Amino acid sequence: MNLWLTKGVYHLRINKLAMAAVASTMLVGITGAASAHISAKHVSALATKFPTVIMLNLYHGPQNNGPDGYPNFTPAYFSAPANSTVKLIIHSYDDGPAAVATSYDKVQGTVGGFELVDGKKVTSLKNNNIAHTLTIPSLKLNIPIPPKTAKEAYVTVTATVNTGKAGNYNWQCMVACGSGSSGWSGAMSPGTGKGWMYGTFTVYNLKSYQK
């Protein structure tokens, strides 16, 4: 279970291992320390019932205090157990679209093939109304994110994904949202964009935490 503060906003990530630990603590309270052992098998069983929740904020302009108003996902590096269910919740504060290839305006790789935009189920977004994407090519995952409207502080995009085997999977935004005439410099540059519009999704082996 992780709690961190970013830009005055608290974020909470609860993974399956933490939920199993909570269950173990509850077992101690109910049955007493003598019979409070919880096995790896029980941890795995509990883990399947509680998805990992990862909350990401997508800032742009004055909110992130980045160089040249770089857009960025916060955090840019996040993790979840292998072979598990993950619920991604993205709050995007960006209010402007940018150019994106048509292949990235469709939701791909999520459970059910859809995402929720402010609670509304969608399978794609209009190509001229996309601010960013959260894309992991090696997992065939693409989550397009629309600009927020003038009436809201941020737009909320929620998607559920299933992780596979353990490994480090690089994500990036596929929208030309950086600096320069092409929009692919600055925060979008492979050299300087790491931690901004590039990052890593680490999928770890839960069994290694059960020993």
* Residue predicted with more confidence, 15 or 116: 116
Model pTM? 0.76
Other CB atoms within 10 Å distance of the CB of residue 182 = 10
The conformation of residue 175, written as its DSSP 8-state character, comes to S
Other CB atoms within 10 Å distance of the CB of residue 21 = 16
pLDDT higher than threshold 50 for residue 3: no
Lowest mean pLDDT among 40-49, 51-60, 100-109, 163-172: 40-49
Q: Can you give the residue ranges of every domain in the chain?
A: 51-209
Tally: H helices and E strands in the chain:
2, 13
pLDDT higher than threshold 60 for residue 21: no
pLDDT, tens digit, for every residue of 110-145?
Answer: 999 999 999 999 999 999 999 999 999 999 999 999
Pick the CATH number of 51-209 from 1.20.1630.10, 2.60.40.420, 3.90.25.10, 3.40.800.10: 2.60.40.420
Tokens of 86: 């993950």
Sheet holding 155-162, edge to edge: 72-74, 52-59, 85-92, 155-162, 115-117, 120-122
